[in-house]
Structure 1
Amino acid sequence: MDDDYTGKEIGSYQLIKKLGYGAFGSVYLASHRYLNRTTAVKVLHPRYSNSQQELEAFFQEARILDSLKHRHILPVIDVGIHDDLVYMMSEYAPNDSLHARILQRKPALLPMKDALLIISQIGQALQHAHGHNIVHRDLKPSNILFNEKGDALLADFGIAVLLENGTAVSPGAAGTVPYMAPEQFEGKVSLKSDQYALACIAYELLTGHWPIKGPPVSDFATWGHKHQHEDPIPLRDRNYDIASHISNAIMKALAKDRAQRHMNVALFIAQMTTDVHFLDMAEMPTVIYPEHLLPKSSPQVAKKTITQWLSEGKCLYREKRFAEAVFSFEQAIQLGHKEAQIFYLLGNMLRELKRLDDALDAYEQAIQLAPHNDIFYNSKGNVLAEQKEYKKALDAYEQALKVAPNKAILHKNRADTLRNLEYYQEAIEAYEHVTRLEPYNTVLKVKVYIGKGETLLELRNREEALKAYEQAIVLESNNATLHTVRGDILWRLKRNEQALEAYQQAIKLKPDDPDLYRKLGSTLKTLGRTRDAQQAYEKAQLLGTQV
């Protein structure tokens, strides 16, 4: 049993009642000594207070909550250490959790209006968090609380993760198994993982069942297999009163492959609440971004038609104002516009903004709408390659080649991917095929010779690699990097006079690079030209100091 701190004072607050406890801490109701004010206080179990890792996780949750000020996210008030107690104060939500409400009404369901309102409010909270690249990772009914006004609040960001550039990460498997997305069981997480969890909750509220029926929650492996392979029973088979568009929106959010889910939570909620007139306009979902991404001319989303949003988006795209253009295109999509070219442009902009998972989703949507366009498959492959998902990238390029089998750039991208997968012989054959397809495309041939040269170096075939780089130099003689690599290969082949000439040529093209002078010095030293080598080293040191 954990320690009970009821009656203890933390600053001006006194802990007056234990509200609950978990594996890492207990939550108390606290009353202010002088003001008519109550707050909830989470206290970390003492056995974790000496763990730097647990302390950092605790304070990280507080920092996340403090950064995510939103009407439907539980606000943090204070965090600190008092008399060796590690604590975090937040707003007290007196109207129980969603989990408690579900249990209180069983076997009856919450009214449809209440269920959709809760999902819409939590959807807004999630979209706000996702706008800051934060994934909650443990969305479940017990982490949805209700404040004094009855509004839903998203709580407990204890295992939340911050994504880099919106790209999926692998923080390890964690969460609550009935609500975990398939990829979470493999230790991976993205913004789409929260969408899946929200869909699980929506399914439960509208049918009274979890979408996946599993064994005891301790059987992690079986739950994982079920989430990854077992399809939920359609909602209308359990509750025929559910409208088709609501069922369809939830089932899409429950897709096993995250690329098949909605582009974001806002679009999921928008499609689920289409034609729902009883929700207050303030609760209707909208695509939420950090302030710096909102269109500068209009901080509020004005009511515009699809045509107006598209026109505005295309103008912003031409001006390379990508964040604002994305906003406009997503508003058009939210209103129901489906056009492959728009999703393709959206993908291009999201890639420029380094929102790679979102870009991938946009290209996937474009492919679904126009499955015979090789450009869409190629773009998908490029993003996957950027994410180092090389096997998936190879599949995308090969899909593109089925549509356009003689397109040289597709064969070149395939060859690069084969090289990254260490399928070196296949890569060389693919590079040679490109030169036969495009014998007069100089720019492409240079890239092909470089790729072929890098592959041959991996195979330690330096003589053939040298030939490849020399072919590239014939086509692009003013490229210092090519001359440098040629010099490196010649030096390893102990052809030092030729290596010296290659480094000297590189220096002519890039005279301020200290690394080139170091290479020059090493080569001169090998040739016995000690004084010249010393001068080269001194030049390298001088340039390095200037840098």
Structure 2
Amino acid sequence: MVENRLIQGRYRLLGTIGRGGMGEVWRARDEALGRQIAVKCLKPLGPRHEREFLDVLRERFRREARVAAALQHRGITVVHDFGEDQGTLFLVMELLTGRNLSQLLDDNRRQPLPVPDVIDIAEQVTAALAYTHGQAVVHRDLKPANIVRTADGTVKICDFGIARLGHDIGFTARLTGTGVAMGSPHYMSPEQIGAHPVDHRSDLYSLGCVLYELATGVPPFDLGDAWAVLVGHRDTAPTPPRSLRPDLPAAYERIMLQLLAKDPDERPRDADDLAKRLADARQDLALPAWTEGITPGSPAGPAHRPPRSVPSRAGTVLTDAWTGVGDPRSGDAAVAAGIASPAPPDDRRTALAARLAAGRALGEDGRYFEAHQIYAEVLAAQERTLGPDHPDTLDCRHHLARNLGRLGRLEDCRAMTWDVAAARARVLGAHHPDTLTTCYELGRVLGRLGKWAEALRTYQEVTAARTATLGPDHPDTLDARSEVGIGLGRLGRSAEALMLYHDLVAARTRTQGDDDPDTLRARHGLGVNLGRLGRWPEALAEAKEVAAARERVLGPDHPDTLVSLRETAVALGWLGRWDDALDRYRRVADARTRVLGAAHPDTLASQSDLAQCLEQLGRQDEAAALHRRIAALRRERATHRP
């Protein structure tokens, strides 16, 4: 986008206000009405997207923008207009004069806001949520950067639905190495993380995270990396905020902890219920005189209690599921899959196979949302033309299930993978290679869900079946044995894991060679379990040899090389050789900064390792300075998160 551009002959762009993963926000002038406005321009959609996908995205944008424009409440940013200009989707909004809550915290040097400010913001946001939930609208990305306090003290929620389009366009941040689609990890509800159904109570959880940060200066789970944050939301009780902020009234601490309940049923029933609890808490306070008369405002329309569940469908935030009834691509499933006209069965199967291959290519390229659309379309066509149990149909379902995992929908992935494994066993046989491939994927998703006992049993069954049908040294058999070793280690059975890795290293060396990446991966697992058993001199020797081999074979900056270098540092630390460990930790941190960038989660984790090593060496000032830099980079990352 360029300054002074005229959008649709009406909105003149004057200067950028901010940038994010989805695009840019511009200060602009409505030439027809002569007023200042804000224009949010989604990033131009390049030629890498297929026309069919772009048509669906445009329709989705129009639907969500239409819903956002229909929301009329003093606590919600007004949407005036929306459309498309030269391939750029845009949204015209009121121009707010004020600061978002993340900026307010930064202005306050990340110190807690005054208690009256926290209370005022809580009440105003709650009123806005009561209205929107009454319209069956769930925000799903509530965070400080999406809440603005204007110059006159009014608090407004921004980006209802529009920010979530980033999932469709493909600019969502992802957890390194997991494929989990990320929104804003510090403010995500446990049900969002676990890919469970999401309703209005998810927004209440996110509001609890926001209020906790305003009251204490830090999010409820301010941990070392994005994955640790998500695990904290899912498994860890938050630190009571009064232990960080003693002057916070007990009634408000109680409300925050209720909002942060893991089980949605244990949170306030809805925003109306939350408003009542806030009103009761206010009555118990003797607040300063200037707070008298402050109210959250009344809804612009009739107040409705939200239904017990506002379901969140795949790819849906504000509107009905756009892949169902009324979808522009609905109709004949074969035509939806890219076939222009009815074709003979063999030709149709060929076309569907080609379409499936295109989906797989998109998935390998990291374009998981687009791949998902293709898989869903092909599956619908195959079920109509071939039947639900045809091997081609089951192959498509296998890939669709795997892609759900890449999108972070782990429970959906687990359920579908289980069904496909059972169907393939029934149709093809329990020991058929395709059946075992699906069982292998089932083990993978069980591990990602933390169900390691089930994952281990699954991998052991796959290993036994592959050994019987393919032989003990077949690469697929060895892959399954490797996963068994990981499962044993995860369950604390390191002695068994060590024996397995000894045999696996021998088999990999015999069949693939000393320097094959798979051989080196097995040796890495061997070294890790030596360390878990406290055999640190042996662990150090193994880690050093694997690091040197990986540097020679893969290169000094390859992720596997850096993992082995870090493992070397860990062993050195356990042996008390902190000076030597410092050199390795620094090399890892420098390499990740160079390759991934200073604010990447893996880089920040390496910098944290380095800081802890400095502390062990008694270099407290250097460690403290590094901790401050890490904290600043995390804040910067959070500020620029869409």
TM-score for both structures, normalised by structure 2: 0.41
TM-score under structure 1 normalisation?
A: 0.48
Using CA pairs under 8 Å that are at least 6 residues apart, name the structure with larger relative contact order, 1 or 2: 2
Rg larger in structure? 1
